[in-house]
Amino acid sequence: MFNTEDLYDIVGEQLLNRRGQSFTSELKMAMMGLPGPQAFAVMKECCGLDDSIEALATECEEMFVDLLPARIELMPGLETLLELLESADVPKAIATSSHLKFAERALGIFDLQPRFEFVLTSESVERGKPHPDVYLLAASRLGVQPENMLVLEDSVHGSSAAIEAGVTTIAVPSRRVDSTQFGSVYAICDRLDDSTVLDLIRN
């Protein structure tokens, strides 16, 4: 929904620059879509950091306080997608690896939270992405079978979670990535209002 991956790039780069290291593309892909503690665990291992996961999370949170309102943007096509879903009376929810405080802050900037049935975060389930739990919970809360639900994902880990849950999954990555990493997704699109996405909703 948002350009959060771009923001995470900025924060990750600043975090590692302070420690004399770089936020490589390989590390970004390994962390992308994971819940915070797991993502920082990957960073610690890959970069040999002595910092605790909690300390890294706190430092990143402090960076986001200033960065989020100044740099966050809606992903291309989001408003068109939401308007179509609402005109067709299709219920919609958010299932994110972010923590609730971050999700509510981001949604609040654009007053989007009232347009969704509910928001599930990394705190909503015991096992975060790439496990399917958050999407299975979303299907249950929406009162639909997973195979009748559509998920739009921007990360490999998130796509894996949705696929394992048995959900029709479309990848809409925020940057150019190796499409083979997304496994057996239904499609890979550049925008949220891609005709492939909109046609699935209309039909």
pLDDT, one tens digit per residue, over 6-34 is: 888 899 999 999 999 999 988 988 888 88
* Distance (Å, whole) CA 32 – CA 61: 17
Instruction: Identify which of 201, 164, 203 has the alpha carbon closest to the alpha carbon of residue 77.
Output: 201
CATH of the domain at 124: 3.40.50.1000
Same domain, 153 and 54: no
Same domain, 87 and 161: yes
Same domain, 47 and 104: no
Same domain, 15 and 112: no
What pTM, to 2 d.p., does this model score? 0.84
Same domain, 51 and 21: yes
- Report how many domains make up the chain: 2
Question: Which domain covers residue 53, as residue numbers?
Answer: 4-71
* Distance (Å, whole) CA 169 – CA 163: 6
> What count of residues does the chain have?
203
pLDDT, one tens digit per residue, over 68-127 is: 899 999 999 999 999 999 999 999 999 998 889 889 999 999 999 999 999 999 899 999
Instruction: Give the end of a domain, one of 71, 97, 122.
Output: 71
